[in-house]
Amino acid sequence: MKTVSIIALKKDRKRLLEHLQDSSLVHIRYNDEAEEGFERTDTSAQLQQFEKNAALTAQALKILDKVSPDKKGLLASFRGRKEIEPEYIGKIASGSAKIIGVCTKICELDKQISDIVAERVRVKTQLSQLEAWKSLDIPMNTPDTASTAVFIGTFPKLFDDKTLAETLASEDSELIFEYELFYSSANLTCAVIYTPKSQKERAEEVLRTMGFSRPLNPTSRTPAEKSRRLRKKDEELESKAAATREEIKEYVKYREDILNTQDYFSMRAEKYRVISTLDQTKHIFILYGYVPEEDCQKLEEICARASENCIVEFGEADENAPVKLKNNGFAEPAESIVTMYSPPSHEDIDPTPLLAFFFYFFFGMMFSDAGYGLLLIIATTIAIKVFKPDRNMRNNLRLFRNCGYFTVLWGLVFGSIFGDAPAVIYNLVTGNEITMQQLLPYPILDTQKDALMIMILSIALGLVHILVGMGCKFYVCIKHKKYKEAFFDTGFWMLMLIGFAVLAAGMVLGYIYIYIGAGIAIASALGLVLTQGREKKGFFGKMVGGVASLYDITGYISDLLSYSRLLALGLTTGVMAQVFNMLSTLLGTSVFGIVYMVVIFLVGHAITIGLNALGSYVHTMRLQYVEMFSKFYEGGGVQFKPFSLNSKNFKIKNSKE
């Protein structure tokens, strides 16, 4: 990685930035303040407007998707962005004002729907409140007569005829009253109470004491009439909302234009964000950034085409430089696995080549079926050829295609081709019993019969995986001249694990290997005791620290046992496949039995593929992150993110993207 400073005339700024954005070569370096003698352009107003327009288009698209979902097929996500000619950007720009108007109208219509929905909620609330009064045949705001006071309202508790009369009498024995109950529940009683007008004040006092309250919005109509009007209003509101939705649907034809306009304003926002970071004078400007060393010449050529009076200066990258991973075709698809964890720092090595091999290898061992692997290879290859996806999706598909190759390999090792489908079909057709071991022309490892052997193999592969990780740590320490950390903290542990491995192998190969392994392990343990407490004070402290460090062996044992999941996932895949094969043949070779067999076979293996592919992916990733990366990888680097178009819906034809 190199630092780059691009100095050009201010009149060429627009053209130069457009070329840089299209080329995706430069990672912009943002400085907090301008250098002495320079100033910066305040683009906050333009930036705010562009971001506002982009947000408006996003909101409009969300509304369109809610009212009229964009019906894309299951495979649409593999399809890459459409290519457009550079001149088409001008067409999008010229039509952006119209599209923003369309988006504004869509949002206004959606706001009307929201208001209608809120109004319908209020109407339904009123209807629910009136339900208790449906048998009342006088208006809720019926006034007093010349001689009678009328109280229409509710009590916050349950009353029946007897308890209401008793309560009113107990509150005021001289009160004269009549009443009607219209509804009673555990916490609500609706009633109309009549008293002589001369006792109105006394009645109000009594009712207030009992928690009586009048309706909040009494009307001059009966509850039944009011309910009828409210229901009619609700129907009108529903019709209005439906009509508004239909009006929104009329704008679906602009969906593609809205997507393009969203990308256009996002690109403009990114460009003006960069402009705000440029050091400028009245006549020139300076752009600071980082560029991969192999792209330096290409950047010079682009700048020369964009501006005749342009100076490009390169320098050595500092520790704050971003990291751009560069790998061959085998390892490149696994870069996303590394960056998902964390990009490497400048203290790290790029773990992608090692991770790629072990990721493919372990995934294949867990998925472990040649038929499934072949399907994975075919499906990903077709998707790449037919859909021509963008780089990220293409790399993901290539990742699974490489996993497919190793899945085929391990499937042949375990003798699993859609489980034991070849043997099952042979038995069904001929009536003779045969196994996959007899059918295949080479010895296989049966995940059920040879489970112990596969467990030992899994632990052995795990040991190799861990030792590779520790070897990377040893290399990094040597590279940074940390020799004590390399030999004492990593080297001795590597030797101890190797010693234990030789000792274990000696149980099969002979006593001489047991002695050799034990000797290596003991010597390594002694080295750890003598060196791991070197930072402590005093002889006793150093010895205690050294002896205590041996406890870390439990962590390594735990790590090794984690690789038993290689057996567990491989066994699961094989057993599930065999179970579905067995179920598919239960009805024999009749016409119905054949149809049943095909359906169960397809559905069963689809379930097996879905579940075990996901499990293999997750657990393989865990082995990389937890067991291997923890031994040497720090991460924390800044990923290389060049100044580019960053569009979601289209890409410029012939651009680097």
Q: Is the pLDDT of residue 647 over 90?
A: no
Instruction: Tell me the CATH architecture of domain 142-214.
Output: 2-Layer Sandwich (3.30)
Query: If you average pLDDT over residues 327-336, what whole number do you get?
Result: 92
Query: If you average pLDDT over residues 10-35, what whole number do you get?
Result: 87
Average pLDDT of every residue of the chain: 89
* Predicted pLDDT at 73: 60
| pLDDT 10s digits, 297-331 | 999 988 988 888 889 998 888 888 898 888 999 99
* Predicted pLDDT at 563: 92
pLDDT band at 601 (very low <50, low <70, confident <90, very high): very high
Query: If you average pLDDT over residues 102-130, what whole number do you get?
Result: 93
With residues binned 3-state (H G I as helix, E B as strand, rest as coil), the percentages for the chain, rounded to 5, are: 65, 10, 25
Of all residues in the chain, the percent with pLDDT exceeding 70 is: 98
Tokens read off for 319: 């520790």
* Predicted pLDDT at 189: 92
Distance separating alpha carbons of residues 367 and 409, to the nearest angstrom: 11
Residue 509 vs residue 165, higher pLDDT:
165
* Predicted pLDDT at 539: 78
* Predicted pLDDT at 401: 95
476: helix, strand or coil: helix
Q: Is the pLDDT of residue 81 over 80?
A: no
Q: Is the pLDDT of residue 76 over 70?
A: no
**Minimum mean pLDDT range among 281-290, 590-599, 640-649:** 640-649
Helix H, strand E, coil C: the string for 153-218 is EEECCCCCHHHHHHHHHHHCCCCCCEEEEEEEECCEEEEEEEEEHHHHHHHHHHHHHCCCECCCCC
Residue 344: which region, alpha, beta or left (left: phi > 0; alpha: psi -120 to 50)?
A: beta
* Predicted pLDDT at 89: 83
pLDDT band at 536 (very low <50, low <70, confident <90, very high): confident
Going along 281-389, which residue ranges are E strands?
Answer: 284-291, 310-316
Residue 463 vs residue 77, higher pLDDT:
463
Domain ranges of the chain: 142-214
Q: Which of 367, 351, 355, 457 is nearest to 403 (CA)?
A: 367
* Predicted pLDDT at 648: 81
pLDDT band at 108 (very low <50, low <70, confident <90, very high): very high
* Predicted pLDDT at 478: 92
Distance separating alpha carbons of residues 113 and 238, to the nearest angstrom: 10
Residue 184 bridge partners (DSSP): 189
| pLDDT 10s digits, 44-61 | 899 999 999 999 999 999
Neighbours of 147 (CB within 10 A): 8
Q: Are 83 and 402 in contact (CB under 8 A)?
A: no
Q: Is the pLDDT of residue 657 over 70?
A: no
Distance separating alpha carbons of residues 226 and 367, to the nearest angstrom: 67
* Predicted pLDDT at 75: 63
Of all residues in the chain, the percent with pLDDT exceeding 90 is: 49
**Minimum mean pLDDT range among 270-284, 367-381, 468-482, 530-544:** 530-544
Residue 645 vs residue 144, higher pLDDT:
144
Query: If you average pLDDT over residues 317-346, what whole number do you get?
Result: 89
Distance separating alpha carbons of residues 230 and 123, to the nearest angstrom: 6
DSSP 135: T
Q: What is the pTM of this model?
A: 0.80
